[in-house]
A and B are shown apart, each in its own frame.
Chain A
């Protein structure tokens, strides 16, 4: 498998993108900001296709669009929590804009431009050149390191914002910084699994880790490990089964982890409830 250069590139970029996604994704779930990740995935799609339609590097459009929107959301803070009707309307329009850029782009010249749109929507990790892969790996690694650097105040601020604020932690700065990191990771993940699927790489490992452990540091590590395992497993699976697109394989494995974690959590709570119920009935008989 590693004899092929494109597989080596995919593993290089994929590993670091998965690492960063797993770390950021844990906080996304912890802070209940899955919706923000959803928003950024829509924006990533439209930004990338706008850049493609304008004839500039897709990555430029990706990063500029996601970071600009993320900073906006971060600065608005709690006020940027409109109801789901507004969210739905805005998202539909953003995607409609993306469809416009897509058609401008595909009408502009024919043939391979259509595949560029699919690359943005569903990722193109097997198509990365060595230079692309190295750049993606470096950016993802920097994002992961930056996140670990602010992890402690971020965790504190996420779990108990009132106490953290009273201790003088700059929660606003940390929050905006987190949004910026989320934007960078979203733009990176778009290149790996695509704009439509990046939410899975953020939410599934983070959600599974949240269900499996209450200890935040262990959860953070677990989330990164699950994301890495999904990426490696997905890449290997799509190498073995040629008709399987890598982005689908990655998301399928990540989703399977989440389902397993949810089943385990449900079984546990079932046991607990049973124990409590039998305990209760015994108590009643004694009384």
Chain B
């Protein structure tokens, strides 16, 4: 299929002008920027802490939260943030290691996911709203982000990033070597709880842009790409945020000019970047040790 970009003149200046012509697009770009920075930073810690499954569960639960809020006539943001916050608290209680056998635990995760998605579907059906509502809850939209929503997002993101800045150093310590951190008197339990709450916030914010099913595109993939490139925390965090930003801006820009959804572009761009970096590093690694091998 040919992907046509209607209205794109390939002149960067006029294209940018066109992109920022309408307030909805400016608000989408603002919201996308806020979300990308937040997701890039918190996602980096999530990948480091190997908590992607927690993130996945939270993102699945975000969908019935948002659908339920729509049904109850509450702001969608309240549904996203409220449900993700509660779910994060619940997860921190449940996910104590070594309780049940792994097979029944994964069955539990699968059951919870399916039930959450089913509940969201029920809410959307009861709301008897448009199918486009369902689509945008699941796969994201950049239409109809209001200025008030941007302000809420900004407030949440600033609070989350401030908290992350405060707990960042001990959190890093606890994530890299939990046992030593605990021995050194770092409160790892409280940190884990705080981080899960942060993760809930990040998932809720990201789901507003990418939809509940595609949260990983901003939360995991840029962070995973960054951790392929460098293991140093500062540089890794910066790269992760930069990649998330780039992917969001490009995705929103392309989606504006194309008839296809923003979720598709953001996932494809971030996944493409991830694969490209992996391949590149693989090639470099194969070429790297050769001189040593020749010497030996």
Q: Is the interface of B mostly helix, strand, loop or mixed?
A: helix
Is A44 an interface residue when CB atoms closer than 8 A count as contact?
no
Q: Find out whether the CB atom of A93 lies under 8 angstroms from the CB atom of B267.
A: yes
Cα(A51)–Cα(B102), bound, Å: 36
Q: Find out whether the CB atom of B111 lies under 8 angstroms from the CB atom of A207.
A: yes
CB distance from A138 to the nearest CB of B (A): 26
CB distance from B53 to the nearest CB of A (A): 6
Residues of the B chain whose Cβ atoms lie less than 8 Å from the Cβ of A248:
118-119, 121-122, 125
Residues of the B chain whose Cβ atoms lie less than 8 Å from the Cβ of A114:
131-132, 135
Cα(A111)–Cα(B259), bound, Å: 17
CB distance from B216 to the nearest CB of A (A): 4
Binary flags per residue of A198-210, CB closer than 8 Å to B gives 1, else 0:
1111111011001
Residues of the A chain whose Cβ atoms lie less than 8 Å from the Cβ of B165:
none
Which of A9-17, A34-42, A62-70, A172-180 contacts its partner?
A34-42
Which one of A107, A117, A196 lies within 8 Å of B117 (CB-CB)? A196
CB distance from A89 to the nearest CB of B (A): 5
Q: Find out whether the CB atom of A96 lies under 8 angstroms from the CB atom of B263.
A: yes
Residues of the B chain whose Cβ atoms lie less than 8 Å from the Cβ of A106:
135
Is A32 an interface residue when CB atoms closer than 8 A count as contact?
yes
> A103 with B113: in contact, given A92-B214, A95-B267, A211-B104 (CB under 8 Å)?
no
Cα(A102)–Cα(B117), bound, Å: 18
Count B-side interface residues using an 8 Å CB cutoff: 56
Q: Find out whether the CB atom of A97 lies under 8 angstroms from the CB atom of B216.
A: no
Q: Find out whether the CB atom of A255 lies under 8 angstroms from the CB atom of B216.
A: no
Residues of the B chain whose Cβ atoms lie less than 8 Å from the Cβ of A194:
121
Which one of B118, B131, B134 lies within 8 Å of A200 (CB-CB)? B118
Which of B9-17, B217-225, B288-296 contacts its partner?
B217-225
Is B213 an interface residue when CB atoms closer than 8 A count as contact?
yes
Binary flags per residue of B204-235, CB closer than 8 Å to A gives 1, else 0:
00000001011111001100100000000000
Q: Find out whether the CB atom of B111 lies under 8 angstroms from the CB atom of A200.
A: yes
Count A-B pairs with CB separation below 8 Å. 187
Is B80 an interface residue when CB atoms closer than 8 A count as contact?
no
Q: Find out whether the CB atom of A93 lies under 8 angstroms from the CB atom of B217.
A: yes
Q: Find out whether the CB atom of B121 lies under 8 angstroms from the CB atom of A117.
A: no
Which one of A89, A95, A243, A255 lies within 8 Å of B274 (CB-CB)? A89
CB distance from B60 to the nearest CB of A (A): 9
Which residues of A101-160 are within 8 A (CB) of B? 102-104, 106-107, 114-115, 117-118, 121-122
The residue in chain B whose Cβ has the minimal distance to the Cβ of A201 is B114
Cα(A99)–Cα(B210), bound, Å: 11
Cα(A265)–Cα(B104), bound, Å: 11
Is B151 an interface residue when CB atoms closer than 8 A count as contact?
no
Is B86 an interface residue when CB atoms closer than 8 A count as contact?
no
Which residues of B1-27 are within 8 A (CB) of A? 1
Q: Find out whether the CB atom of B106 lies under 8 angstroms from the CB atom of A104.
A: no
Q: Find out whether the CB atom of A252 lies under 8 angstroms from the CB atom of B115.
A: yes
Q: Find out whether the CB atom of A95 lies under 8 angstroms from the CB atom of B131.
A: no
Which one of B106, B211, B260, B270 lies within 8 Å of A103 (CB-CB)? B260
Is A88 an interface residue when CB atoms closer than 8 A count as contact?
yes
Is B268 an interface residue when CB atoms closer than 8 A count as contact?
yes
Q: Find out whether the CB atom of A210 lies under 8 angstroms from the CB atom of B118.
A: no
Cα(A95)–Cα(B282), bound, Å: 26
> A92 with B267: in contact, given A85-B47, A245-B121, A251-B118 (CB under 8 Å)?
yes
Is B50 an interface residue when CB atoms closer than 8 A count as contact?
yes
Q: Find out whether the CB atom of B271 lies under 8 angstroms from the CB atom of A30.
A: no
Q: Find out whether the CB atom of B111 lies under 8 angstroms from the CB atom of A254.
A: yes
Which one of B47, B125, B264, B267 lies within 8 Å of A245 (CB-CB)? B125
| A residues in contact (CB < 8 Å) with B | 29-32, 34-35, 37-38, 83-86, 88-93, 95-97, 99-100, 102-104, 106-107, 114-115, 117-118, 121-122, 194, 196-204, 206-207, 210-211, 243-245, 247-248, 251-252, 254-255, 258, 262, 265
Given A121-B121, A203-B109, 20 new contacts (CB under 8 A):
A34-B110, A85-B47, A85-B52, A96-B264, A97-B264, A97-B268, A99-B135, A100-B261, A100-B264, A102-B139, A103-B264, A114-B135, A117-B135, A204-B107, A204-B114, A243-B125, A243-B126, A244-B122, A248-B119, A262-B104
| B residues in contact (CB < 8 Å) with A | 1, 47, 50, 52-53, 55-56, 100, 102-104, 106-115, 117-119, 121-122, 125-126, 131-132, 134-135, 138-140, 211, 213-217, 220-221, 224, 259-261, 263-268, 270-271, 274
A-B contact pairs, 16 of them (CB 8 A): A29-B106, A85-B224, A92-B215, A92-B271, A93-B217, A93-B267, A99-B267, A100-B260, A106-B135, A118-B131, A122-B121, A196-B118, A210-B107, A245-B125, A247-B121, A248-B121
